[in-house]
């Protein structure tokens, strides 16, 4: 199970959601929204896949990576041959939906993923400070029972402050920007360096909650099908 995964809820939901990502930020988003899920990371070679898509629009790249992650995890959940044997008992488990996500920053017409090194992160920030970019998150949701799937890419505009060289150096030294799309986190240490956003804030963190709602409906489900439920008598809002 990936980082940040909460324990499974005791209440069985109508649909079992699997997050095909090791992202702690995405896990926190789902948990805060009251959505029950399991978290499994994929073994997709993201850099190699992204390299094969060079020249494609950033939104296309984000969606392709999200789909690859989703399908890789879904393959690990595929039922074995014994479950298809004549006379096999039907499973009482709920339907399983797998959600894959991938985020990319589009800036000056280019797609920026994870910088991976202090040097790359510093260069990114020197380019994007004082500028406007679009954080794109691709989402792919697959129903493992019916093999129906739906996907969408959501964009949120991000305006960066005109950070000084020292502010950039201090931020890069934390290590935070090295392994996140666009070299920043809205909810982390980069918060003071973000002047504003226009659009869905959850999308910037890595998973658009409104988009998830819509995709569930695309596959014939509702948000309440994956929601945790408060204990009886709990009136906490």
CA atoms within 13 A on the CB side of 204: 21
* Residue 43 bears catalytic tag: no
Cα(158)–Cα(195) distance, rounded to whole angstroms? 8
Residue 230 pLDDT grade (very low, low, confident, very high; cuts 50, 70, 90) = very low
Would you say 115 and 124 are in contact if contact means Cβ atoms under 8 Å apart? Answer: yes
Catalytic residue among 43, 75, 102, 162: 102
Write the pLDDT tens digit of every residue in 160-182. 999 999 999 999 999 999 999 99
Write the pLDDT tens digit of every residue in 181-204. 999 999 999 999 999 999 999 999
Q: Which domains does the chain have, with CATH numbers?
A: 16-226 (3.90.950.10)
pLDDT of 82: 41
Cα(120)–Cα(124) distance, rounded to whole angstroms? 6
Residue 51 pLDDT grade (very low, low, confident, very high; cuts 50, 70, 90) = confident
Locate the DSSP E strands across the chain.
16-19, 38-39, 96-107, 110-112, 132-143, 149-160, 194-198
């Amino acid at each position: 199970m990936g980082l940040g995964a909460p324990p499974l809820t005791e209440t069985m939901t109508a649909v079992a959601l699997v997050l095909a990502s090791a992202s702690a930020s995405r896990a926190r988003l789902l948990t805060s929204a009251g959505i029950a899920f399991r978290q499994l990371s994929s073994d997709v070679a993201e850099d190699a896949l992204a390299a094969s898509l060079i020249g494609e629009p950033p939104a296309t790249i984000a969606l392709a990576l999200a789909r690859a992650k989703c399908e890789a995890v879904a393959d690990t959940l595929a039922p074995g041959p014994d479950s298809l044997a004549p006379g096999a008992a039907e499973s009482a488990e709920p339907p399983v939906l797998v959600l894959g996500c991938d985020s990319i920053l589009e800036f000056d017409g280019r797609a920026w993923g994870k910088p991976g090194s202090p040097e790359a992160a510093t260069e990114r920030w020197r380019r994007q400070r004082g500028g406007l970019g679009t954080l794109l998150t691709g989402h792919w949701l697959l129903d493992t029972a019916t093999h129906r799937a739906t996907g969408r890419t959501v964009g949120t505009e991000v305006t960066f402050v005109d950070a000084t060289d020292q502010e950039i150096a201090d931020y890069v030294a934390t290590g935070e920007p090295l392994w996140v799309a666009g070299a920043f986190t809205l909810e982390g240490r980069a918060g003071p360096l973000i002047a504003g956003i226009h659009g869905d804030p959850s999308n910037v963190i890595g998973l658009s909650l409104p988009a998830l709602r819509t995709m569930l409906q695309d596959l014939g489900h509702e948000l309440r099908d994956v929601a945790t439920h408060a204990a009886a008598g709990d009136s906490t809002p």
